[in-house]
């Protein structure tokens, strides 16, 4: 039972490049979340999903897009990366109660 | 910001002492949760308290919730060096399925 798996674990992008972060969960959870974590800022919610085919904006959605075409996967896209998007990104899933987190993706935009 | 705020930002104690950290939030909630994060790792759920509960225990953890003051506290008793980590509160807003985190308390337990 893998839980929540994020790929990739590390990535360096040049300004203006695009990329997609993949989150996969094998617990049949309805809810999935994408967060970014910056020093001193805690975790900030980017987007979330309450079920297959649904997405909603969180606190800091600008510059990101998401898709949940399959229940087990939640994709986070950066269309044109900016240095301000340098951060550690965490995905999580839950089923009404506690959230389970992936190990994070460290993204650097240069 | 919809984030909660934890207090203190950092806490350093001796092994065996109790650690108390506080969380304040802004909106009405379904529940409040506490998570732990070891350096560079993902978050791990510790305990959940619902909006109609006032206190909950789990092992060495004690959580209180005061919805009138929009605040919660986490008490870790008889701390151990292995408790060294960052601790975050998270709130699920009433009528929503989101989960907003606070800014965290960095706890250091000195052996």
Closest Cα of chain B to A1: distance in Å? 16
A58 with B102: Cβ contact below 8 A: no
pLDDT at B3: 62
**Residues A3 and A25 sit within 8 Å (Cβ to Cβ):** yes
Preferred mutation among A36, A99, A104 to probe B, highest tally of B CBs within 10 A: A99
Long-range CB pairs of A45-54 (<8 Å, 24+ gap) are A45/B2, A45/B98, A45/B99, A45/B100, A45/B101, A46/A76, A46/A89, A47/A76, A48/B97, A48/B98, A48/B99, A49/A74, A50/B97
CB-CB: which of A42, A45, A90 is closest to B42? A90
A42 with B45: Cβ contact below 8 A: no
Contacts of A35 in chain B (CB under 8 A): 101
User: Do strands A31-38 and A19-25 pair parallel, antiparallel, or not at all (unpaired)?
Assistant: unpaired
Express as a percent the part of chain B with pLDDT over 70: 97
List, in sequence order, every beta strand (DSSP E) within B10-42: 10-14, 19-24, 29-37
User: A27 and chain B: CB distance < 8 Å anywhere?
Assistant: no
Contacts of B3 in chain A (CB under 8 A): 42, 44, 59
What is the full per-residue pLDDT of chain B (111 aa) written as tens digits?
556 788 899 999 999 999 999 999 998 999 999 999 998 788 999 999 999 999 999 999 999 999 999 999 999 999 999 999 999 999 988 877 788 998 899 999 999
pLDDT at A23: 97
Closest Cα of chain A to B13: distance in Å? 21
């Amino acid at each position: 039972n893998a839980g929540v798996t994020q790929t990739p674990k590390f990535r360096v992008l040049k300004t203006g490049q695009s990329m997609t972060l993949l989150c996969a969960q094998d617990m049949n959870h309805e809810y999935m979340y994408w967060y970014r974590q910056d020093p001193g800022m805690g975790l900030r919610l980017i987007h979330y999903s309450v079920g297959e085919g649904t997405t909603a904006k969180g606190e800091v959605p600008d510059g990101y897009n998401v898709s949940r075409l399959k229940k087990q996967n939640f994709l986070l896209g950066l269309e044109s990366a900016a240095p301000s998007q340098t951060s550690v990104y965490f995905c999580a899933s839950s089923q009404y109660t506690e959230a389970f987190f992936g190990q994070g993706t460290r993204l650097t935009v240069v | 910001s919809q984030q909660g705020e934890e207090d203190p930002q950092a806490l350093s104690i001796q092994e065996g002492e109790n650690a108390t950290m506080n969380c304040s939030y802004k909106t009405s909630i379904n529940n409040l949760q506490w998570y732990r994060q070891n350096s560079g790792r993902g978050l791990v759920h510790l305990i959940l308290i619902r909006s109609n509960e006032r206190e909950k225990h789990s092992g060495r953890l004690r959580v209180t919730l005061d919805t009138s003051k929009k605040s919660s506290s986490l008490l870790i008793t008889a701390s151990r060096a292995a408790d060294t980590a960052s601790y975050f509160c998270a709130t699920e807003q009433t009528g929503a399925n989101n989960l907003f985190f606070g800014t965290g308390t960095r706890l250091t337990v000195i052996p």
